[in-house]
Every structure is written in structure tokens, then in C-alpha cells.
Amino acid sequence: MVQFERSLVSVLLEEIQTPQPVFQVLTGPRQVGKTTIAHQVMDKLPFASVYASADSPLPPGMEWIETQWRRVQLEANRSGGPVLLVLDEVQKVQGWSESLKYFWDASRRAPEDIRLLALGSSALLIQEGLAESLAGRFLLHRCPHWTFPECAAAFGWDLPRWIYFGGYPGAAAFGADEEKWKRYVADSLIETVLSRDVLQLQKIAKPALLRHLFALAATFPARIVSYNKMLGQLQDAGNTTTLAQYLRLLETAFLISGLELFSKGSIRKRGSSPKLILWNNALVNALAGRSFNESHTDAVWWGRLVENAVGAHFLNHLHPVGCSVAYWRRKDHEVDFVITKGSRICAIEVKSGRSGKISGMEAFHASYPSARRIVVGGNGIPLDEFFSASPEVWL
């Protein structure tokens, strides 16, 4: 069986084969193929490589990185040429950034030609470590959830199946048995991320609350939900500050983002009711009681799934530094998404047959006449065309 090859393979292959003063970092959600990409790169390299994973129940100490570095040094001395070291789930190693800095800097003065690829599934821990100790030493690559064209090419999915099943490649094998698929996503994906990438690596005062917050958000995809409403539906919820903090933690694990209200000059209006977007529709449907057929024939629910998929498309594929994703609402007028890039503003309205929705495009245009306006679905950009292109092209 030929493995599907994502575009990042060729990108990383070119970077790693080129001698340069930085190492490569690949970050993204669990179960989207980061490890597979690393192995595909290793298979294509004309020189040797060493692979090691820190993804264990007990986080290893700094000696783990030293051990792997000694391994790659021995291989470099044996082969006499470049050697790639791949460190998977590196953010789980205690003191990983300081240790990596020490060995990387030492390698620049050593005769061995050691190339490095570090993989991580926690945006917060990876970014903290890179910013604190490794500034100027790395090139960051983002590995997002699978797109519609990738799932169509790899699994033969049409657009409705991608919108429902969400595009986790490991779960695609269970698409014919929806109950098994739901169990796989809930147990092997959601629970693993919560227990290993969030609760194990962060100080969480109320772990049960964080789990309940995730489950609550999964029932309200693409919905604006006030923190007070969340407090009313969650037990032992503490206060709105705690909920906002936990929502940000779930975002660093590529699970949920709480989009904030757009206001020019302050793109994210702090304290506003968040619009809940799950980064992959599988996270919604694995916990929902509806089957694929029931979801597809329920116009209101399917509209939510389509809108959430549009939001997730922006979050997955727009660079978080240069772009911002928000929503806009004033009285009865609402715009589904507002994307900013520099001084450019783009308002996005999603049309999916959902009734009773008041369009806010004209009201938004009155406030921001220079903003670009785009309709996705309906008589606007066809959904398959929208999901087949990078969101950058619409900006």
C-alpha cells in the first residue's frame, strides 16, 4: 500500500538537505501525520537518520535528549556524512529547550554534520520553549488538519463526508462503521490530547471542568456562547476568567478556539462572548448523537457543521502571526467571520441553507466600507472550491 504524501514532505526534504544554521520544527495537532511525514522524509534522504519519541506516560528528563544526541554523533562518526536527528513530541521532555540549545550550539562548533527535526503537538509548549531559549535557531513549519483535497485524494471522500468526518487520517479506516469511528475519535484522539497534551503538561486546578468545557463546546459548533451561559451549564465552573483560560489552553492543543468580537484597532475585543470553533469537525460529530445521514438531512445542524468547517479552515491554514480570525455582531446583525491581515479586512458570510439568519454584511460595510466582502456557499464561492484553496487567496 502506497502511503499518501503531504506537501510538507517535499518542503522539509529540501530544507534538511540544505546545510544551514537553523534546525526544523514541525508542530500541529495529534494524529495528522507529523510522525509519518518525518519517516517519509527519512526514507527519501540520501544520508542516515536517527528517530526517537518522547511520547511516554511519564515525561522524560533532559538526559533523554543527551542520549539521542550521543546516538546521532556515533552515527555521524560512523558514516562520515550528514545525519538527521528526529525528536518526536519533544515538548514532553523536561527542560527540552535548554537542553536542545546546549547541544545544538555545541554541534555548530563540532566536526559532525548533524541536522535536526523536532516535532511537537502542543503549540503553547513548543512556542514557549522556542521563544525562551531557541530564538534565531529554528525554522517553524505548521502541519494542519487534513484538507478536503487531501482526503478526496487519499480516501475518495466527497465534500459532505469530509465535512462530517473531519479528516483525521487514522480514523478514516472506520468510516464505514460510524459507532467504531466515534469511539476511536473519542478515545484515541480526544482523550489522548486532553490527558497527555493538556492535563499532563499544564497545571490545571479543575481538570473535570476543562473536560466538561470541551464537551460543552462540541455541542455548540460555530455558536456565540457567553461565558455566563457556560457558567450556568457547567458544574464547579469557577468564574469567567477560569473558563477563558481553559479555552485558550484547548486552543494550544488545536482543539477549540473561542473567536472574539472584531473591533477595528483592537482586533480581538477582550471579554466578549466567544464564538466557538472546533479545529476539526470530527471533534464535534464523535460526541454528537447524530449519524452522518441524520446530520446531512438536518438543515440547521448541517449549517453549523459547514460554518464550523469554514472557521476551522481559516484557523488551520492562516498564519497566526500575520492574520487574525474574529466575528462581528451588532444588535441583530452578524458577520460569521472577519479576517484581518495587516491593514486588510475581509468579511466572510457562510450560506448553507440555514433559515432565519439575518445577514450583517450591509451593516458591516457601513461601518467598514473598505473591507472586502465574500460569501461562501449558496450563490457565492462554491463550498468545494472554497475548501480546495488556501484561504490566503481570498484575502
**Per-residue pLDDT at 238 exceeds 80:** no
CB burial string 265-287: b at 16+ within 10 A, e below? eebbeeebbbbbbbbbbbbbbbb
Which has the minimum average pLDDT: 54-68, 217-231, 298-312, 378-392? 54-68
**Per-residue pLDDT at 358 exceeds 70:** no
pLDDT digits (tens, 9 = 90+) for 178-225: 999 999 999 999 998 998 878 876 788 888 899 999 999 999 999 999
Q: Is the dihedral of CA 284, 287, 289, 293 positive or negative?
A: positive
Of all residues in the chain, the percent with pLDDT exceeding 90 is: 69
pLDDT of residue 102: 93
pLDDT of residue 59: 81
What are 261's three cell numbers? 468580537
Which has the minimum average pLDDT: 141-145, 214-218, 263-267, 382-386? 263-267
What are 70's three cell numbers? 550521543
User: How much is the average pLDDT of 273-302?
Assistant: 95
User: How much is the average pLDDT of 62-80?
Assistant: 95
CATH of 8-142 given 3.40.50.1820, 3.30.720.200, 3.40.50.300, 3.40.720.10: 3.40.50.300
Domain spans of the chain, in order of start: 8-142, 148-394
Of all residues in the chain, the percent with pLDDT exceeding 70 is: 94
Q: In what order do the strands lie in the sheet with 344-350?
A: 323-330, 333-341, 344-350, 372-376
Work out the mean pLDDT of the chain and round it to a whole number. 90
* CB-neighbour burial class of residue 187 (10 A; exposed 0-12, middle 13-18, buried 19+): exposed
Instruction: Return the DSSP state at 387.
Output: H
**Per-residue pLDDT at 129 exceeds 90:** no
Q: In what order do the strands lie in the sheet with 223-224?
A: 223-224, 275-278, 256-259
Helices marked H in the chain: 8-17, 34-44, 63-79, 96-109, 123-133, 148-155, 159-165, 178-184, 191-192, 207-218, 227-233, 240-252, 281-285, 292-297, 299-317, 361-367, 383-387
Beta-bridge partners for 341: 323, 344
pLDDT of residue 342: 86
pLDDT of residue 233: 86
pLDDT of residue 265: 60
CA–CA dist 223, 61 (Å, integer): 42
Q: Name the pLDDT band for 271 (thresholds 50, 70, 90).
A: low
User: How much is the average pLDDT of 158-166?
Assistant: 96
Q: Name the pLDDT band for 353 (thresholds 50, 70, 90).
A: low
Q: Name the pLDDT band for 355 (thresholds 50, 70, 90).
A: very low
pLDDT of residue 175: 84
User: How much is the average pLDDT of 91-112?
Assistant: 91
Query: CA-CA distances (angstroms) from residue 342 to 319, 366, 387?
Result: 12, 21, 23
Beta-sheet pairing, 333-341 with 223-224: unpaired
pLDDT of residue 16: 97
Q: Name the pLDDT band for 356 (thresholds 50, 70, 90).
A: very low
Looking at per-residue pLDDT, the higher value among 128 and 170 belongs to 170
What are 27's three cell numbers? 508542530
CA–CA dist 52, 65 (Å, integer): 9
Instruction: Return the DSSP state at 160.
Output: H
**Per-residue pLDDT at 268 exceeds 70:** no
Own/partner pairs for 358-367, CB < 8 Å, 24+ apart?
Answer: 358/332, 358/333, 358/334, 359/333, 360/328, 360/329, 360/330, 360/333, 360/334, 360/335, 361/335, 363/330, 363/333, 364/328, 364/333, 364/335, 364/338, 367/330
Q: Which residues contact 298 (CB under 8 A, 6 or more apart)?
A: 290
pLDDT of residue 9: 97
What angle separates helix 240-252 from helix 123-133, to the nearest 10 degrees? 80
User: How much is the average pLDDT of 103-114?
Assistant: 93
pLDDT digits (tens, 9 = 90+) for 316-352: 999 877 889 999 999 889 999 999 998 899 999 999 7
**Per-residue pLDDT at 3 exceeds 60:** yes
Secondary structure (3-state) at 258? strand
